[in-house]
Structure 1
């Protein structure tokens, strides 16, 4: 935590939710943490719906999962283009939500983790010098474990 200098925004994008928390010089700001129902599954559903609306075809889950993981799938260009368009719109929505919570890439660094980190990296527009991706799907749990450890340690000192 001491490596986090200045203002930082941590974003964990899971399957169902996006968790957002500010750190100021390594210290969590409890009043500036939120959970949004904007996880990767929302993008998955949007891709399914877009393909169904355009083609009448139910795209197999495995194809969508491959696309969300790797940014590519073994499908025709029209399907691939539609999936990419939805993914880009989804990531734009994520960044808009962060801006709603006062994210400013000129004032803070952004740390993106969780299953959605790869999507942001592939489909997002961001400052590469001020954005870090952690693809460890256990990163959030490790952070909470550390946070609890520090709270218990502080409590035991009193």
Structure 2
């Protein structure tokens, strides 16, 4: 997977972790990035950074939280210098979509609105409602205070309510996902 000059035990430990974490890492990347190509790139970049820092990651009390923070920081940092993006990908995937049951379709109606949020608000919504993290865990992941998480979530939910219309609660709908 990666070329290595590290001891074989470290490389094997990383490869085992990467294989077991890939599904979760890609899912979270997709929720943050909003499309398959960017999600794959984000997940790969996170694994690359994880490999470079494997000695610290493997010694962490919670390696998944450490990698989640790497993932979120990479996502947020990629949105800062927008002028540096080399290409803009379309929202529609090239593969055909399959029809789903009515329940997921209704919940997915919220997704385009979540995807349109600013990166930090989107990260808070994804971590809270899709990843089911507590405000404290989100604060640790984003490197901010729990109050900042609450404020950011409040602004994001207010934007979602305005986009969807009165009488709906996007917080409740997102939790069903």
TM-score (norm: length of structure 1):
0.33
Greater share of strand: 1
Greater share of helix: 2
